[in-house]
Structure 1
Amino acid sequence: MEVPEVPAETARIAHAAFPKGALFIRLRDELGPLLLDQDFTQVYSGRGRPAVAPWRLALITIMQFVENLSDRQAADAVRGHLAWKYALSLELDHPGFDASVLTEFRQRLLAQDNPLLMLDRLLARCQELGVLRPHGKLRTDSTHVMAAIRVMNRLELIVETMRALLNALATAAPAWVQQIAPETWYDRYAHRAETYRLPKSEAAKQAFADTIGQDGHDLLILLLGDDVPEAARQLPETEALRRCWKRQFISKQGKQHFCTREELPKGDMLESPYDMDARYSTKRGREWTGYKVHLSETCDDDLPHLITHVVTTQAHEQDAPIGKQIQEQLYEKGLSPQQHWVDAGYNGAELIVSAREQHGTEIIGPVRPNTSWTQKVEGAFDLRAFDVRWAQREVVCPQGHASQQWKPTTRKTGQSIIIVTFPEETCRACPVRSSCVRSETRPKSLTFQPQAQQEALHAARDAMNSEEAKVRYQRRAGIEATISQGVRAFGLRRSRYIGIEKTHLQHVLTALAVNVVRLVAWWDGERPGGTRVSRFAQLRAA
């Protein structure tokens, strides 16, 4: 189904009311039909006709995020705002629809194979209009996103996880819960876990936690029984309790014991039974529970700066693997940049080489510094002091001695490395051993990457030492303004929804909102400005 034209009466009154063009009027006039019903055939049945056209729901969802509205406020805007009716090709007396339709539409969007579909459609239209250069300049950065949950301490967490499962079971199989639940459970788990309700002394806390642990252990055993109703077997809250108990408790003499901080095993920690994807993380002194969003935007001087890619990860995940993922996904969309600015968190030898060889992209940015002991001791020999003879698969040390073993291998992370070892007899008698080896007994060994990656690593470290490279790298800082706009105008830093899939959808819609605002500003004659400098700071340059 094609998008209908704007009704004549709606167009006449809208242009009279907004002679300079409101944002959504300009959007419709400049872009035309952005989305079609055919774009959503994957998530709608082929039979029958939807009550509200999918293209309208998609556009309403974008407009909702542009103005940072709730579902109810967006539905009211469809009924009562002239610019919205114009953009949606609605008659002036159109009654609108119930706000719950937007919730259902987002659920359908989550079922799509490509969660970036609407963003990709906008970018394709921008290429047609000449406001997006597919192989230009790009920059990427990430920021933290707080989950839509209450942050709890460990004692609150175990109580609330047990309570969440009991509530879910009471909904799915109430008769079975009445049969198995002791009377004490009703007193213990009827109310939400709050600090003021919990014991105060350390001994009392430990005893209380051990009791909760035994209750949870008993409930998990009961859930393995043959009499458990089918509706109660596959609840996500059951998996949350298993994961939580596996980390928070250990078995001692047949009883569940709440781990002390010293006994707590390492690994991912469930932060809430209501959002099992949210994770705790810390970076540069900032602590949060939730996610990270990685935004990539164009930064060509003569075009609007548009977000072209969005990735949402759990908070504790490292940035390094995301750099390669972004490169591959941009290539699949035909948007591989010629130059890509990233920070040291993303950058590395593998990314530099793979981006250059596979996609023709130059990665610009610092790499992680060499933190080995040789950088801290004056006169010590680092890798560059050795002559690596790649063709001969050997290394010659500063004293002229050749290596004994050359062993290619792979780390647990999947990174390819080479381990080189020198003869023990040679190293033991070496007069400069203290500048080469820290161990008093072991021979010298070197670990480095394959030739292309290692040479790229050296080149990147050398490049960032020059003033020219530092000035060139300043372009990356511009994405901080995009993150700031997303946070201040569109609520980027707080998740509206539960779970990483819904949070990612929020981030995609936020990127669409940012792009829409920037496109209209570009058509109005506004151009990206440089970094603002305070009046006081300007005095220094005067």
Structure 2
Amino acid sequence: MVQGITRSERELLDAQALVGELVPEGSVFAFLAEHRAELFPDEFIADLFPSATGRPSLPADLVGSVLVLKELYDLSDPQTAEALRFDIRWKVACGRSLSQTSFDPSTLVYWRKRIARSDRPDRVFDAVARVIADTGVLTGRRKRCVDSTVFDDAVATQDTVTQLVAAMRKAARLVPGAAAVIARVAKLDYAKPGKPDIDWDDPAAKQELVSVLVCDALAVLAELTGPDAPQREATAADALGLLALVAGQDVEPADGSDGTDGRWRIARKVAHDRVISTVDTEARHTRKSKSNRKDGFRGHVATEPETGLITDTELTRAAGEEGSDAVVGEQMIARDSYHGTGADDAGPDAAPPTADTPPAADTPGGTDDGATQPDPARSRHTGEDSSSSSWVGAVVDGVAAGTAENGRRSGLEVYGDSAYGTGEARAKYRDGGHDTVIKPKPLCPAVPGGFTLDDFTIDGQARTVTCPGGHTRVMSPKRSVTFGKLCAGCPLRDQCTTAADGRSMSIHEHQALLRAARAQARTPEFERDYPTRSSVERIIAWVATQRGRRVKLRYLGVTKNHAWLRNRAAAINLRTLVNAGLTHRDGAWALT
């Protein structure tokens, strides 16, 4: 297949020429009708067609426009193909004639796969990002707000019995010879559709079924795995691994059994990092609160609060440390492409701060184990005109906030809730040259109204902790401290601890940074600045809802859904720019 090219001459029934006035001015449809070729030139997909022979594909401007509109309006593949065929707005935006039909919905599957396998899987997001960079709308804008939301997955959450049965059937389909082994060693007939036929109101019958299912799975695994098992392809190995996982994650030996007698029961706990479906093995349980459990994936977003533009996104599993808010938030800020930091911006002789380089003297808290008292938090704004009623006007007027007095650009100013304020995350922000306006987690005193950790004096250099009563103890190698007998006759004991063996505590590796953050949160500057963070909630709502309903993911796995989130963010950014007057004149993008 060869790359398709859009012809410069219009067709007889060109939609834009005949009914273009029906498309509202200032809409994304009208913008694409006029500028889709500049936004998605032939180079947009040229790398996907190394051959110069074959049947022409769809042209680049049509592919890019369809991908943007599809995600902007959260349409399925069939709905997208239908819109391109019948919706006049889509025909005008994509340069179609009134009589042209659409393509088959499977064409969109083809394009997603082809783009995903390429060296530029984020090309739609990157195309809009280049427009943002060219306009200069984010130049000098230091503020970034980070937040996340949970997206419902595209599959149903499965119970333990359903997962065991499904995993056995999957092994039978994908592992060579597994169907014969299952038929020979298993007690249940897994070729029969549906759940096993038992009395589901009888607890004893359900426990017996669980025992049979687990024993069948273990028997099949014993036959198909082991040191003498043949080398298997990835899909077959994954199917056996999934069977082993679901056979162990939700069950435990029955009372009075060690499992060797074949008696099992559903465990009275939730397995760590539990697989909730054999259809999408990357979907996970999580909680928005103690009473609100969610299943699916977590979408992370970084935004610039005054413009409403999304600067970065990431989609991860809903549970797990690698997908936590603190970890992903720091990653998004570190790779921010709109505001350079480090040696390149500071000059040839400057070096970016590292974990081994102490922060500047005016950094709250100094080094992590340094001063015993935190420095008061300071206001970190450097002249950004946040009171302007028009952020477009601010760019036109040449506002360049975030530049230090020596002419060097400073880092970013990160706004987030307490989930983003772990000690590790704050240390990375500090080392990256970034300032933080992140809400700290409150300290809970051991005695209501009593002393908290901030009432103790911590000397990181001497590795000692002094309590409010004046007693000093040395930290252990694992940074724990026990006052023990010193608490027995202390007159302040009732305000400090209820433990019989005295007050004990663990000192965080980044305790100085955490203490400085709590001190910062008590300043008038923090109370003034922190509400800026709330703007990201509006942008999260743009991403996660459509016409008042919650968006539900359409794809399986992290990779495919991450690609969807990037395209969705690109479409929303384009709409934001169009609403601000984006145009293309004299070969350059500009905001009118």
The TM-score normalised by the length of structure 2 is 0.73
Is 1:69 the equivalent of 2:75?
yes
Counterparts of 1:87 and 1:30, CA distance in 2: 9
Is 1:245 the equivalent of 2:250?
no
Q: Give the CA deviation at 1:457.
A: 2.6
Is 1:290 the equivalent of 2:296?
yes
1:306 to 305, 309, 332: 309
Counterparts of 1:286 and 1:439, CA distance in 2: 33
1:377 to 424, 441, 448: 448
Q: Give the CA deviation at 1:103.
A: 0.4
1:366 to 418, 431, 439: 439
User: Residues 292 and 315 of structure 1 are in contact (CA less than 8 Å); yes or no, is this contact kept in structure 2?
Assistant: yes
User: Residues 143 and 304 of structure 2 are in contact (CA less than 8 Å); yes or no, is this contact kept in structure 1?
Assistant: yes
SS at match of 1:191: coil
Counterparts of 1:208 and 1:112, CA distance in 2: 47
AA aligned opposite 1:386: F
User: Residues 443 and 452 of structure 2 are in contact (CA less than 8 Å); yes or no, is this contact kept in structure 1?
Assistant: no
Q: For the structure 1 residues 480 and 7, does the alpha-carbon distance in structure 2 shift closer, same or farther, using more than 3 Å as the test?
A: farther
Counterparts of 1:143 and 1:502, CA distance in 2: 17
User: Residues 142 and 339 of structure 2 are in contact (CA less than 8 Å); yes or no, is this contact kept in structure 1?
Assistant: no
SS at match of 2:295: strand
User: Residues 390 and 451 of structure 1 are in contact (CA less than 8 Å); yes or no, is this contact kept in structure 2?
Assistant: no
Is 1:507 the equivalent of 2:512?
no
User: Residues 150 and 294 of structure 2 are in contact (CA less than 8 Å); yes or no, is this contact kept in structure 1?
Assistant: yes
Is 1:485 the equivalent of 2:559?
no
SS at match of 1:122: helix
Per the alignment, residue 319 of structure 2 pairs with 316
AA aligned opposite 2:192: A
Q: For the structure 1 residues 517 and 238, does the alpha-carbon distance in structure 2 shift closer, same or farther, using more than 3 Å as the test?
A: same
SS at match of 1:519: helix
Counterparts of 2:150 and 2:455, CA distance in 1: 40
Q: Deviations over 1:94-136 (max 9, x none)?
A: 5553321210221233335665442132122123124444634
Per the alignment, residue 476 of structure 1 pairs with 533
Per the alignment, residue 132 of structure 2 pairs with 126
Per the alignment, residue 195 of structure 2 pairs with 193
Q: Deviations over 1:452-472 (max 9, x none)?
A: 514423323423xx5x64453
Per the alignment, residue 349 of structure 2 pairs with none
Counterparts of 1:17 and 1:312, CA distance in 2: 38
Q: For the structure 1 residues 103 and 391, does the alpha-carbon distance in structure 2 shift closer, same or farther, using more than 3 Å as the test?
A: same
Q: For the structure 1 residues 6 and 185, does the alpha-carbon distance in structure 2 shift closer, same or farther, using more than 3 Å as the test?
A: farther
Q: For the structure 1 residues 219 and 184, does the alpha-carbon distance in structure 2 shift closer, same or farther, using more than 3 Å as the test?
A: closer
User: Residues 176 and 229 of structure 1 are in contact (CA less than 8 Å); yes or no, is this contact kept in structure 2?
Assistant: no
Per the alignment, residue 457 of structure 2 pairs with 387
Per the alignment, residue 172 of structure 2 pairs with 166
User: Residues 185 and 216 of structure 2 are in contact (CA less than 8 Å); yes or no, is this contact kept in structure 1?
Assistant: no
User: Residues 138 and 296 of structure 1 are in contact (CA less than 8 Å); yes or no, is this contact kept in structure 2?
Assistant: yes
Q: Which has the higher helix share?
A: 1
1:441 to 463, 485, 501: 501
Aligned ranges 1:323-472 → 2 under 5 Å = 323-330=329-336, 334=340, 338-360=412-434, 362-373=435-446, 376-378=447-449, 380-403=450-473, 405-407=474-476, 409=478, 418-420=479-481, 426-441=486-501, 447-450=507-510, 452-463=512-523, 466=524, 469-472=526-529
Counterparts of 2:411 and 2:61, CA distance in 1: 30
Counterparts of 1:421 and 1:192, CA distance in 2: 58
Unaligned runs of 5+ in 2: 342-409, 584-592
Q: Give the CA deviation at 1:442.
A: 5.2
Report how many aligned residue pairs link the two structures: 499
SS at match of 1:150: coil
Q: Deviations over 1:439-460 (max 9, x none)?
A: 4335755524446514423323
Counterparts of 1:198 and 1:334, CA distance in 2: 65
Unaligned runs of 5+ in 1: 410-417, 526-542
The TM-score normalised by the length of structure 1 is 0.78
- Give the fraction of aligned pairs with identical amino acids, expressed as a percent: 23
Q: Give the CA deviation at 1:201.
A: 0.5
Counterparts of 2:155 and 2:161, CA distance in 1: 16
Counterparts of 2:304 and 2:420, CA distance in 1: 17
Per the alignment, residue 412 of structure 1 pairs with none
Is 1:27 the equivalent of 2:41?
no
